[in-house]
Structure 1
Amino acid sequence: MSVMHPRWSIRSGWTELPTYVRVGIEQVLGAMIEESIGQQGGFSPRTAERVRTTSGRRA
């Protein structure tokens, strides 16, 4: 029996998003992003971040 091994893609990070996208997310969250942690895995090269705002909110 063969085992399937998924191909993981390298994800882009928070700082690689266009400025207008980062600003829009910060507006929705109500504060600037203070910290972002990239999440591993998946098949998409798009960003998957856990973020913390300057107000302490996490998303």
Structure 2
Amino acid sequence: MARWYDNKSLYTITDTELLKNKTLLLVDDVITTGATMELCGEVLLKIEGTTLFIASMAVVD
């Protein structure tokens, strides 16, 4: 959980107009806690008309 809070302020979007009504692919090399995907995905899905897909090369079990 600490990782989630440590990274929360790192991800911001300055111009959401560029992403309105877009289909996006969010890629992370390795999903460990899922914090990066969750934080970024949460921000992206707040943008009007956004469809989001996620992909990763590996997941740590």
Question: Could you tell me the TM-score, scaled by structure 1's length?
Answer: 0.28
**Larger strand percent:** 2
**Larger helix percent:** 2
Question: Could you tell me the TM-score, scaled by structure 2's length?
Answer: 0.28
Q: Which has the larger radius of gyration?
A: 1
